[in-house]
Amino acid sequence: MQRHILRNKNKITIISGVLIAVGFLSKWTMGNTEIFEWALIVASIFGVAPIAIQAYQALIVKVVSIDLLVTIAVIGAFVIRNYEESAIVTFLFLFGAFLEQRTLNKTRSAIKELTEMAPESALKKLENGEFVEVDVDEVDVGDILLVKTGAKVPVDGTVLTGEGSINEASITGESIPVGKEKGSNVYAGTILDNGTIQIVADRVGEDTTFGKIIELVEEAQDSKSEAERFIDRFAKYYTPIVLVLALIIWIISKDIELAITILVLGCPGALVIGVPVSNVAGIGNGARNGVLLKGSEVISDFSRLDTMVFDKTGTLTVGNPSVAEVEYYDDNIEEALGYLASVERESDHPLAKAVLEKIGEIQFSIVEDTEVIKGEGIIATVSGHKIAVGNLALMDREQVELSEKAKADVARLEESGNSLVLTAVDGELKVLMGIRDQIRPGVKEDLQKLKRLGVKNLVVLSGDNQGTVDVVSRELGLTEAHGNMLPEDKSEYIKELIEEGQIVAFVGDGVNDSPSLALANIGIAMGSGTDVAIETSDVVLMNSDFGRLPHALGLTKATARNMKQNILIAVGVVVVLLAGVLFSDWMNMSIGMLVHEGSILVVIFNGMRLLRYRLNRQ
């Protein structure tokens, strides 16, 4: 029976609220006090049932909770026939618990999704030289595995033979495939975009980088689940004090009604509703402004933030490489662009896509004698002209001479963190393109707002090379920049900051970011990111609008202030009421109830102010 009642606590809350509404409507519209009284009696009985059960369960483990105080107060109100107070107190208590539970509950399905993304099988080399498909759990360190185009790399390992490009977005978060050759390291969960390679297994199972991602998310989420709510800590001292005070008053005065009055007026209705209403109003404002906040614990930590750490790709940057700068070295450039587009149209490389988007609509030509040079580019014949499209190594191979201006342009673009695409027609350089992941529009201004809101340190962590990360850091005015970081490196960095006593937020969008999102005091995910990142996080910026981040921080600071105000109002009113009952003649049950209910309205209206919060008002 107890479990059935507690499982249906939310339904009981609704029934109690409906009965209270029916009671008051019957009294106000028809003047029917009998329906009014019975509706409140039934609402009180329904409402107190789960509260009394929780009080009993707490007493079993020797904890005196607010549930016990509410239960005794409701029983006392029944004794003195004050059914209105008993019904309202139970409803407010249950409604407050419902709001808090709803905002604090987090889904745990992130672990399941991560597990589903892990490789399940591998092509293992047998003693006779043949490769057979086996379960990934059957792979041991030292085994030789074959990875074909489009397949997931099953373990962390080293390339023995073959070449190819691997999409490492699931590990590093970087969108541009990385070329692999003999001696290169590969990671479980990454995807071979093209080519065929054989690898030797270095780390398998839970020891792989991908396995560690899952483990880190589990550990970090568990570490957060032990936090206690403020009201529970407050109740540890408040509830026994009020109970003892009421008992002492009864023993001394022999006045049972006075003792019950103290219990009723001492019941912290405004405190019970004050914190949840601030939370809900703050969360509601955030949702309306593209920010999803997952509970009061998030708001408390976020409001005291002093360090914010960012993933680069998809967070500070757009996440898709595009042409940032173009230099031409011929007057008749339209013809060269046509040749370039014709060659790149036959490639599936991300840089080729960026080039085609930049060139736009143009007339294509037939491409013949195409030769792909691994790690360098493409050589082909177009309309009788020899076209070379690729990097500097390809230009050296084809003995394409670069003018002093071209050399200076190359140095400048490389310094700015660009990947270079050079196009030569019949041995002469015609086009130079610098391709990089573009910084999100308005990010620099948003970061300045964060500083004004009290964030002391702005740090970027990325799996990209240090040079590219430094360029982004300089452009945005960040405090620190660290490149060449795997997920375990990022999470270790976050852990060190927390151990130093800093309150840290991490902002990211990929599977590779999920350990850091879970481990940080506040995990902030971009809304267009993976479900794993979103579910692991504490805050989600819907539509990946980075501009919502300053609003989110300002909102949590305002919400935290509002919660403190409501707590002070609630506790202050209780203190005044109890002092009035004990030390004055003018305080009675009716006045006390009026003030008591008024304090509840005050904290509700104070909390609702957050719905109108705007950052530019702060």
Please state which CATH class domain 120-154+156-203 belongs to: mainly beta
* Catalytic site positions: 311
Residue at 521: amino acid letter? N
pLDDT at 233: 65
The rounded distance, in Å, linking the Cα atoms of 189 and 191 is: 7
Mean pLDDT, the chain, whole residue set: 81
The rounded distance, in Å, linking the Cα atoms of 600 and 568 is: 12
pLDDT at 594: 63
Looking at domain 289-318+440-555, what is its CATH homologous superfamily?
A: HAD superfamily/HAD-like (3.40.50.1000)
Mind listing the pLDDT tens digit for each residue in 265-295? 776 667 766 777 787 788 778 877 778 777 6
Mind listing the pLDDT tens digit for each residue in 295-340? 667 787 888 899 999 988 778 888 778 898 999 998 778 889 999 9
- Start-end of CATH 3.40.50.1000 domains in the chain: 289-318+440-555
Largest CA distance in the chain: 111
Could you tell me which residue, 208 or 617, shows the higher pLDDT? 208
Going by C-beta distance under 8 Å and a sequence separation of 6 or more, which residues neighbour residue 609?
281, 562
pLDDT at 194: 86
What is 320-438's CATH topology? Calcium-transporting ATPase, cytoplasmic domain N (3.40.1110)
Which secondary-structure segment (H or E) carries 35?
Answer: helix 33-60
Strand-pair partners of 134: 122
Tokens of 504: 């840290």
What is the torsional sign of CA 330, 334, 339, 341?
Answer: positive
The rounded distance, in Å, linking the Cα atoms of 543 and 602 is: 35
CA dist 258 to 32, 77, 252, 572, 598, Å?
Answer: 29, 11, 11, 20, 21
* pTM score, whole prediction: 0.61
Q: Phi then psi for 39, rounded to 5 degrees?
A: -60, -40
Asked if 523 and 541 count as a contact pair (C-beta separation under 8 A), the reply is no
Confidence band (pLDDT; 50, 70, 90) for 510?
low
Mind listing the pLDDT tens digit for each residue in 388-427? 999 898 999 999 999 999 999 999 888 877 888 999 999 9
Return the exposure string of 435-469: e unless at least 16 CB atoms fall within 10 Å of the residue's CB, then b: bbbebbeebeebbebbeebebebbbbbbbbeeebb
Helix, strand, coil % over all residues of the chain, rounded to 5: 55, 20, 25
**SS3 string of 280-320?**
HHHHHHHHHCCEEECCHHHHHHHHCCCEEEEEHHHHHEEEE
- Start-end of CATH 2.70.150.10 domains in the chain: 120-154+156-203
Residue at 300: amino acid letter? S
Is the predicted pLDDT of residue 38 greater than 50, yes or no?
yes
Return the exposure string of 285-319: e unless at least 16 CB atoms fall within 10 Å of the residue's CB, then b: bbeebbbbbbbbbbbbbbbebebbbbbbbbbbbbb
The rounded distance, in Å, linking the Cα atoms of 450 and 507 is: 13
Is the predicted pLDDT of residue 116 greater than 70, yes or no?
no
CA proximity to 24, closest of 80, 83, 90: 83
CA dist 336 to 239, 331, 427, 523, Å?
Answer: 82, 10, 12, 48
Asked if 294 and 103 count as a contact pair (C-beta separation under 8 A), the reply is yes
Asked if 410 and 420 count as a contact pair (C-beta separation under 8 A), the reply is yes
- Start-end of CATH 3.40.1110.10 domains in the chain: 320-438
Is the predicted pLDDT of residue 107 greater than 50, yes or no?
no
Could you tell me which residue, 158 or 208, shows the higher pLDDT? 158
